[in-house]
A and B are shown apart, each in its own frame.
Chain A
Amino acid sequence: DADVTQTPRNRITKTGKRIMLECSQTKGHDRMYWYRQDPGLGLRLIYYSFDVKDINKGEISDGYSVSRQAQAKFSLSLESAIPNQTALYFCATSDSVAGAMNEQFFGPGTRLTVL
């Protein structure tokens, strides 16, 4: 079984709809992240959470919100989707244990299309 899972894997929606992308992990990590990937732009950080009570904005948080329901679950919401939010979205996790060298583990991605 995959350590970091994302649902759905693909989603097509319309402008103005509310969308939730979910991420679950079985790695026991305390830190979780949401990125979006756009062609030519690499990955950009949307939100990150270092534990259940800690939520932080990344570089492109406008139009997004997150919820850390448990240590293993971190969901990303688009309250009112717009076409320029069409992208590939990745969840990632990392361990805060000293010596972990900041390695992040990624889920398989969710391809979101907003029409």
Chain B
Amino acid sequence: GNSVTQMEGPVTLSEEAFLTINCTYTATGYPSLFWYVQYPGEGLQLLLKATKADDKGSNKGFEATYRKETTSFHLEKGSVQVSDSAVYFCALSGGNTDKLIFGTGTRLQVFP
């Protein structure tokens, strides 16, 4: 079945450091891929998405490219801020449903 694997956290960085959070997936067909972010005490918010191979999703300085050849959707940001501290979830959906399959989440902690 479909699944998503994320790197375990926490990821601890200093402000202005480069961020990569790895995400790989297993799916039949051509899933849509998402990154959601959960700030402390809040629900999940969509951060970015991509629907086909080689698409790049971007938002708030974050980027992720849909790589079908490596079945990956790694999240990157060139310069993180303290306000980026949150839990990041990679997810996929596919077929004719909206059901999302989530990774286990990666906690990012950014220190001044």
Q: List the interface of chain A (C-beta within 8 A of B).
A: 4, 31, 33, 40-45, 48, 58, 90, 92, 94, 96, 101-109
List which B24-38 residues lie within 8 A (CB) of chain A. Answer: 32, 34, 36
Query: Given contacts A90-B44, A108-B43, is CB(A103)–CB(B49) below 8 Å?
Result: yes
Number of chain B residues whose Cβ lies closer than 8 Å to a Cβ of chain A: 19
Total CB contacts across the A-B interface at under 8 A: 48
Within the assembled complex, what's the spacing in Å between the Cα atoms of A102 and B30?
A: 13
Q: Are A106 and B104 in contact (CB under 8 A)?
A: no
Which of B42, B43, B46, B102 has its CB near the most chain A CB atoms (within 10 A)? B43
> Which 4 residue pairs are nearest across A and B when measured between Cβ atoms?
A106-B43, A42-B104, A102-B93, A42-B102
Least Cβ–Cβ distance between B93 and chain A, in angstroms: 4
Q: Are A41 and B104 in contact (CB under 8 A)?
A: yes
Query: Given contacts A102-B32, A102-B93, A104-B98, is CB(A109)–CB(B104) below 8 Å?
Result: no
- Main secondary structure, interface of A, reads strand
